[in-house]
Amino acid sequence: ETKEVNIVVVGSGMGGFSAALTAIEEGAKSVVLLEKNNSLGGSTNMAECPAGARPFEYTEEEARAAAAGAQADSYGVSDPMLLYSMFRDAKENFGWLFDTHGVGWTKQGEAPAFYEGGNGKIAIEKLAAAAEKEDGLEVLTETPATQLLLSDEYTVEGVRAKTKDGKYVDYKAKAVVLATGGMSTNKTLLAGYTSQDLDKTIGWGQGQDGDGHLMAEQTAHGRANHLTVDSLFNNVKDFSYDSALGVCVAMQPSNFWVNQDGLRFMNENISSTAVSGKVVETQGSVWSIVDADGIQKYAEGGCQRHYSGFADKLVGNAIDGLQDEVDKAVSGNDECFKADTIADLAKKIGVDADNLADEIEKYNTGTDAEWGKESENMWPIATAPFYAFRISSGMLNTSGGIRINTNAQVVDDRYKPIAGLYAAGVCTSGWDGEVYGNGTCQANALFCGRTAAKHIVKNLL
């Protein structure tokens, strides 16, 4: 079957919804939004922070300075023109999100910290409700796009999609917007795009299987490159994304970590930063060691930091059932161990027992001459039973791969646009270096989605 529409948007996260709604609001008459999952939002549902382009309003001079600073932070890898454009348009785009569509957010100090409720579900709920009111916007779930329709490698004429009942529909369109997310849920494909040791990472996200990257590769864009693994935080394999125990043993400045040799290798205060996962990946194994008193202190409200809006509620509050979660982990997870002595724990996790004992003895003095950790965060490892949890980096998403210009058009390596093809969100390159840029995901998705829609309506419809 063939259908003719103005625009097809692939993906229903922030990038997809901002593109689809903006296109209708700018004058498009028929927009189809395709979502392969049975629910809307993708990994935006797990996003915490809408505030990548703080403080939401920049002068021309401030926008250029912020772009230069962000590019310097990426060691020159990111695209300063993309960053500048995002900062320049921040006031309008965030006004559209927060004011026009009523997406809520909460403050932390002077800057917005999290979506209302701690995650991006509020954004998807608001934008999906707005989409339902638009006659010209059709939202389809369980309908994956399978390939682009091309007249030649520089001209996209639509997209082929597979319906719920297994049939195929060719949507002939003036433009296609790829807002498909990253590759974090497809490690087999991702292994071909990164040198990262994926055995040390935990992949989360929703439906981020790289399908948008593969579609872009049909065109003169060619192979997607500079695709980075965003190790945003740490956790333990087989723990859920929002595991309270994972927050306690993998994300706190009061953690005590040793590597495969039973040696401490850094100040664990780094555990809640965007680079902590990268640090963990430098070691063969990283073990978080905690004693019975430590588990009790966490249960009584000892968490000091969150790693996302999901975990914010744990900070300073009692955690009911934490010991039950510990007992379950050590009985059924081969990366979690319990022992009555340090020597026995060292044997179970395969580290040098003398090294581990020496490190614990030094740590228990409460003074960290080697790494400079604050004494108040040096919880003694002294009361049996003792626990060890192997830490992995947490990959909520990947970033990059699809090259775009400041109109959000997909381009070849010399930046010649692929007519009719646009991209938005974490499938696009130019925003980050090898380490996640703190807040770029939602901000770039919003900027790209709205920019693409405006450019399409103005130039193609």
Query: Residue 429's pLDDT is what?
Result: 95
Give the pTM: 0.91
Residues of the chain with pLDDT under 50: none
Burial 392-404 (b: 16+ CB within 10 A, else e): bbbbbbbbbbbbb
Closest Cα partner for 208 from 42, 33, 337? 42
**427 with 181: CB under 8 angstroms?**
yes
Closest Cα partner for 17 from 156, 125, 151? 125
Q: Is the dihedral angle over the CA atoms 309, 312, 318, 324 positive or is it negative?
A: positive
- Determine the Cα–Cα distance for residues 200 and 25; give it in Å rounded to an integer: 44
∠206-211-214 over CA atoms, to 5°?
150
Query: Residue 359's pLDDT is what?
Result: 98
- Determine the Cα–Cα distance for residues 434 and 250; give it in Å rounded to an integer: 21
Q: At residue 275, what are phi and psi to the nearest 5 degrees?
A: -95, 0
Query: Residue 448's pLDDT is what?
Result: 98
Query: Furthest-apart CA pair in the chain: how many Å?
Result: 73
Please report where in the chains the tokens 């309270």 appear, as a residue.
Answer: 244
Query: Residue 310's pLDDT is what?
Result: 65
Query: Residue 112's pLDDT is what?
Result: 53
Alpha helices in 27-160 (DSSP H): 60-73, 80-88, 90-95, 121-132
Half-sphere exposure of 445 (CA within 13 A, CB side): 35
Virtual torsion, Cα 219, 412, 447, 155, nearest 10 deg: -40
**11 with 212: CB under 8 angstroms?**
yes
